């Protein structure tokens, strides 16, 4: 069921996920036209949708602010623009990790850390700085395509390195969440991004997309105008049921990014090796973390994360096809 | 030869050479052809798309080297076109190169390979073609496409000026059958040639072609009433086959013991992605059906090239594709589903969005008609022979769609 609407307020609005946003075009129409923003807000109001507004680093002007404030929403803003948007989710780029002075005074923040492959070795240090200020941190790898064994190993090293810090903070009354380490512990089933199912995106051109990444990849590949009924061709391919690899997987924290799927395997329902391997590094780190939690005497009530012999569920899916009877139960 | 010992019922086709354990690599040596068959899915024939030896050499080098990804113990090198024998000298060089490299590398394929051809047969008696055949005869399969009677063949298999090609092919059949007595032919049925099915299969059997692989096209070409006409043709063929005891020596893929039951397993029908096609640019495709000239609506779908190798990510959908993920609900509950084929390339071409996960069911009514006639055939034959033939071990899978 549709629950959210993402609205990209400008072409150069911050990315919050596995894609690069666009730059500003000289003299071009970079901001979403006001009438389109109004249509998006109305659509949200009529369909009980909570809106996530993606902001650029600059001010938009009073007419925009007024429309934004007319609907339940969350703001996602670049870290540098935080002062104008109290309570917003702050996007931190791994190439610009804020210094201690920038973080002073922040508490209980929601961060998105967009991590570049080249900055992987800095991950633990960056998290160490952000975690004490955070209510939640979502780490997203910005450039997944082309990751190989070296990256998987480094990712694993970094997650293991930050583990003691997360464990230490777990003793706090309000321990911070770190998506790639703590989410899997709390989940009993898939908790994916669900682009196209749980949320849709209004691009800065005012048209609808599965998610912002699809807009930036090809603005022509739109779901159409904002209107009453939204038709998504082959919508079932977004569902877990029709994803032969993911439906047998228990890396529940994985975003199962349908944009990356499409970009790397050409199919919305088929993940790349990179996505699966990275998610399984996280799953394994989460398993390790659960063990430590239990050793430290907490973690009661949390379900086991079984040890598995594969690093990519593709290997399992290719070996054995799900039976028709099991499929029908899904 | 029947694969069930001492069984006088030949009617089902045998599986091709090591079909399930071989890597099937198709070289599209030319996109040109002397004919313009009306049903041909290669809609963009041209003279420019000719394979260069160097590209083929690189592809062979890659495939012989990628032992971690290409693990099959044997290989079938398929040469197709357009019309492959237009390029027989190039093919000869390619085959020689493979043999030498496989020997030098001590590759298991050196002992286990085959060269396979699907040809329109027009050049079969050409001296260069015959030289090639003599040189490679122990590792060769050649399938000449004859579509049935002159009338049926000439309805579809025509020269650019519209003239039929039957006589030019038929004159080469005797020599072909002499050289490859176990050969089969492939027949494709579209709406217009339904009335000629029975006479065509009988005609081909009469020419001495013992195995007829015959399929209806996957495109949505069917008109109201086609299923009934199709069923009537198959029943008439069944009667003739039984009354003249042709089932003892001949086979036709329309009749199969294994079709017409509900699904029990969830396998994909076609081998796209496990096989590989190589075009003149050196691009790899999951099957020839994914090349640009085979597609009407969608862009070509590559899975790598001979320089960078196979793209493992793009292979993942093909290797995990199953029946349930692409089929509509009615197929999962269908009482006669087995044997109801699809072509992944056609699915990709006709799908609502760019995906291989949407099964085209354009042949639904035709399959159901085939099942009814097939039941009729086995029940009638069973009564004649006093045996429950469908309860007996099966002779083969029944030919796949391609
Ligand atoms: S599909 Fe979801 S996870 Fe992927 S880029 Fe879009 S919003 Fe992010
Ligand atoms: S790890 Fe791979 S299989 Fe599992 S949910 Fe993520 S993308 Fe799907
Ligand atoms: S296409 Fe028709 S005949 Fe074939 S499986 Fe589906 S419902 Fe059955
Ligand atoms: S069924 Fe179609 S896609 Fe599959 S192998 Fe045959 S021609 Fe290729």
> For A193-216, what is each residue's pLDDT tens digit?
999 999 999 999 999 999 999 999
What separation in angstroms does the CA of B391 have from each of A20, B241, B257, B296? Answer: 61, 20, 9, 42
B258 C-beta neighbours (distance < 10 Å), count? 15
Q: For the segment B293-320, what is each residue's pLDDT rounded down to a tens digit?
A: 889 999 999 999 999 999 999 999 999 9
CA distance B167 to B158: 11
What is the average pLDDT across A33-41? 97
B-chain residues near A265 (CB < 8 A):
313-314, 316-317
pLDDT at B317: 98
Say if residue B337's pLDDT is above 80. Answer: yes
Mean pLDDT of A16-44: 91
Mean pLDDT for A35-64 is: 96
Residues in A touching B331 (Cβ below 8 Å): none
Say whether A267 and B356 touch across the interface (CB within 8 A): yes
Whether residue B324 and residue A322 make contact (CB cut-off 8 A), yes or no, is yes
A322:B266 CB<8 A: yes
Of B301, B323, B353, the CB nearest to A233: B353
What's the DSSP call for residue A174? S
pLDDT band, very low/low/confident/very high, at B155 (cuts 50, 70, 90):
confident
Ligand 3 mean position, distance from CA B269 (Å): 13
Q: How far is the CA of B325 from the centre of ligand 2 (A)?
A: 16
Q: How far is CA A13 from CA A22, A23, B58, in A?
A: 8, 9, 46
Question: What number of C-beta contacts closer than 8 Å exist between A and B?
Answer: 74
Phi-psi domain of A291 (left: phi exceeds 0; alpha: psi -120 through 50; beta: other): alpha
Choose which residue among B220, B343, B368 to substitute to test ligand 3 binding: the one with the highest number of ligand atoms within 8 A of its C-beta.
B368
Atom of ligand 1 nearest to the CA of A211: 6
Beta bridge partners of A110: A136
* Mean pLDDT, range A276-289, rounded to an integer: 98
Residue nearest to atom 7 of ligand 3 (CA): B331
Of the listed ranges A121-130, B51-60, B119-128, B154-163, the least confidently predicted one is: B154-163
Whether residue A258 is predicted with pLDDT greater than 80 in this model: the reply is: yes
Q: What residues in A contact B264, CB-CB < 8 Å?
A: 324
Dihedral in degrees, nearest 10, Cα atoms B39, B43, B48, B51: -70
CA of B31 to the centre of ligand 2 (A): 40
Q: Determine if the peptide bond prior to B14 is cis (ω within 30°).
A: no
Look at B332 and A242 and tell me if their CB atoms are within 8 Å.
Answer: no
- Note the pLDDT tens digit of each residue in A98-131: 999 999 999 999 999 999 999 999 999 999 999 9
**Residue A304 backbone phi and psi in degrees, to 5:** -65, 150
Query: How much is the pLDDT for B7?
Result: 47
The pLDDT of residue B19 is 52
The mean pLDDT of B315-328, rounded to a whole number, is 96
Q: Nearest chain B Cα to A273, which residue?
A: B313
Chain A residues closer than 8 Å to B323 by CB: 324
Within 8 A of A274 by CB-CB distance, chain B residues are 313
Asked whether A257 lines ligand 1 (CB < 6 A), one says: yes
Confidence band for A299, pLDDT divided at 50, 70 and 90: confident
Digit-coded pLDDT (tens) for B260-288? 999 999 988 788 999 999 999 999 999 99
Question: What's the mean per-residue pLDDT of chain B?
Answer: 90
Q: What is the pLDDT of residues B372-381, one digit of tens each?
A: 999 999 999 9
* A170 vs B60: CA distance, rounded Å: 57
Contact A321 B322 (CB under 8 A): yes
Task: Report, as an integer, the average pLDDT of B352-363.
Answer: 97
Q: What is the pLDDT of residues B65-96, one digit of tens each?
A: 999 999 999 999 999 988 999 999 999 999 99
Residue A170 has pLDDT above 90, yes or no: yes
Residue of B224, B222, B150, B234 whose CA lies nearest to B195: B234
DSSP state of A229: S
| Range of lowest pLDDT (B44-48, B130-134, B192-196) | B44-48
B301 lines ligand 4 (CB under 6 A): no
pLDDT tier at B391 (50, 70, 90 boundaries)? confident
The whole-number pLDDT of residue B400 equals 47
Give the distance (Å) from ligand 2 centre to CA of residue A100. Answer: 36
| CB distance B368 to ligand 3 below 6 Å | yes
The least confident of A23-32, A36-45, A136-145, A299-308 is A23-32
Q: Which two tokens stand for residue B303?
A: 């899975």
Indicate which ligand has the atom closest to the C-alpha of B290: 4
Q: Is the pLDDT of residue A137 over 70?
A: yes
User: Tokens 């399930």 label which residue?
Assistant: B20
Q: Which residues contact A5 (CB under 8 A, 6 or more apart)?
A: A40, A43, A44, A47, A49, A50, A51, A52, A199, A200, A201, A202
Residue B353 touches partner A, C-beta closer than 8 Å:
yes
- The distance of A263 to chain B (nearest Cα, Å) reads 10
Give this complex's ipTM: 0.96
pLDDT at residue B399 in the model: 38
Least confident span in A227-231, B36-40, B105-109: B36-40
> For residues B114 and B77, what is the distance between their CA atoms, to the nearest angstrom?
6
If you measure from the C-alpha of residue A217 to the centroid of ligand 1, how many angstroms do you get, rounded to a whole number?
A: 12
Strand blocks (E) in B89-231: 113-119, 140-144, 184-189, 211-216
Confidence of residue A228 (pLDDT cuts 50, 70, 90): confident
pLDDT at B398: 41
**pLDDT tops 80 at residue B369:** yes
The runs of H, that is alpha helices, within B327-363 are 329-332, 344-350
Q: Does B267 touch chain A (CB under 8 A)?
A: yes
Q: pLDDT-based confidence at A76, cuts 50/70/90?
A: very high
**pLDDT category, A85, cuts 50, 70, 90?**
very high
CB contact under 8 A, A245 and B316: yes
Cα dihedral B116, B122, B125, B130, rounded to 10, equals -30
Give the count of beta carbons closer than 10 Å to the beta carbon of residue A321: 21
The tens digit of pLDDT for each residue in B3-22 reads 333 345 666 655 555 555 89
Is the CB of residue A163 below 6 angstroms from any atom belonging to ligand 2?
no
Cα B105 to chain centroid, rounded: 31
CA nearest to A252, candidates A153, A326, A154, A183: A183
Question: Residue B6's pLDDT is what?
Answer: 39
Start-to-end CA span in chain B (Å): 21
Using DSSP's 3-state secondary structure scheme, residue A83 falls into helix
> 3-state DSSP call for residue B158?
strand
């Amino acid at each position: 069921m549709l629950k959210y609407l993402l609205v990209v307020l400008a072409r150069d609005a911050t990315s919050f996920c596995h894609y690069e946003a666009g730059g500003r075009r000289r003299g071009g129409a970079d901001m979403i036209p006001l009438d389109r923003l109004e249509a998006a807000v109305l659509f949200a109001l009529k369909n009980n949708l909570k809106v996530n507004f993606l902001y650029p680093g600059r001010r938009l002007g009073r007419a925009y602010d007024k429309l934004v404030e007319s609907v339940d929403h969350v703001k996602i803003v670049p870290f540098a623009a935080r002062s104008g948007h109290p309570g917003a989710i702050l996007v931190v780029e791994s190439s610009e990790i804020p210094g201690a002075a920038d973080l002073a005074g922040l508490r209980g923040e929601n961060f998105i850390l967009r991590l570049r492959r080249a900055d992987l070795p800095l991950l633990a240090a960056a998290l160490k700085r952000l975690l004490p200020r955070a209510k939640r941190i979502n780490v997203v790898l910005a450039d997944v395509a082309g990751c190989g064994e070296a990256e998987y190993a480094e990712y694993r090293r970094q997650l293991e390195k930050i583990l003691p810090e997360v464990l230490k903070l777990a003793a706090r009354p309000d321990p911070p969440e770190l998506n790639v380490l703590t989410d899997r512990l709390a989940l009993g089933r898939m908790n994916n991004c669900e682009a196209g199912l749980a949320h849709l995106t209004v691009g800065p051109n005012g048209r609808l997309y599965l998610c912002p990444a699809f807009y930036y990849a090809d603005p022509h590949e739109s779901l159409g105008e904002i209107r009453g009924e939204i038709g998504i061709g082959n919508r079932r391919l977004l569902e877990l049921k029709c994803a032969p690899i993911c439906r047998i997987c228990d890396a529940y924290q994985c975003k199962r990014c349908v944009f990356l799927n499409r970009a790397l395997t050409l199919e919305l329902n088929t993940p790349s090796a990179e996505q699966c391997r990275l998610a399984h590094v996280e799953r394994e780190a989460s398993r390790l973390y659960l063990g430590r939690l239990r050793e430290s005497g907490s973690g009661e009530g949390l379900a086991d994360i079984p040890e598995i012999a594969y690093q990519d569920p593709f290997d399992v899916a290719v070996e054995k096809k799900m039976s028709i009877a099991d499929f029908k139960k899904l | 030869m029947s694969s069930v010992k001492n069984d006088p019922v030949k009617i089902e086709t045998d599986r091709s050479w090591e079909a399930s354990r071989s890597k099937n690599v198709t070289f599209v040596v030319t996109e040109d052809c002397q004919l313009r068959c009306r049903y041909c899915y290669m809609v963009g024939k041209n003279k420019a798309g000719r394979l260069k030896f160097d590209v083929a050499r690189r592809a062979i080098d890659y495939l012989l080297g990628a032992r971690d990804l290409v693990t099959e113990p044997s290989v079938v090198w398929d040469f197709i076109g357009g019309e492959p024998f237009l390029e027989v000298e190039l093919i000869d060089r390619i085959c020689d190169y493979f043999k030498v490299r496989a020997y030098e590398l001590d590759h298991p394929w050196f002992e286990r390979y085959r060269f396979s051809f699907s040809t329109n047969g027009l050049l079969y008696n050409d001296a260069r073609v015959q030289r090639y055949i003599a040189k490679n005869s122990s590792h060769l399969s050649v399938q000449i496409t004859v579509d049935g009677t002159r009338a049926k063949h000439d309805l579809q298999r025509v020269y650019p000026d519209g003239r039929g090609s039957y006589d030019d092919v038929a004159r080469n059949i005797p020599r072909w059958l002499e050289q490859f007595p176990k050969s089969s032919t492939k027949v494709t049925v579209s709406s217009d040639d339904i009335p000629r099915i029975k006479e065509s299969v009988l005609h081909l059997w009469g020419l001495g072609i013992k195995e007829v692989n015959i399929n209806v096209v996957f495109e949505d070409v069917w008109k109201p009433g086609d299923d009934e006409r199709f069923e009537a043709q198959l029943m008439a063929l069944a009667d003739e086959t039984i009354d003249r005891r042709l089932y003892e020596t001949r086979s036709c893929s329309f009749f199969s013991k294994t079709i017409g039951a509900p699904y029990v397993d969830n396998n994909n029908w076609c081998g796209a992605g496990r096989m590989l096609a190589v075009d003149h640019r050196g691009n790899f495709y999951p099957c020839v059906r994914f090349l640009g000239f085979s597609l009407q609506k969608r862009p070509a779908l590559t899975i790598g090239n001979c320089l960078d190798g196979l793209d493992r990510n793009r292979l993942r959908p093909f290797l995990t594709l199953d029946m349930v993920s692409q089929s509509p609900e009615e197929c999962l509950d269908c009482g006669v589903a087995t044997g109801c084929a699809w072509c992944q390339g056609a699915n990709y071409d006709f799908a609502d969005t760019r995906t291989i996960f949407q099964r085209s069911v354009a042949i639904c009514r035709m399959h159901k008609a085939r099942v009814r006639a097939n039941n009729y055939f086995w029940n009638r034959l069973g009564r004649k022979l006093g045996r429950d033939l469908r309860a007996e071990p099966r002779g083969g899978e029944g030919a796949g769609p391609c």
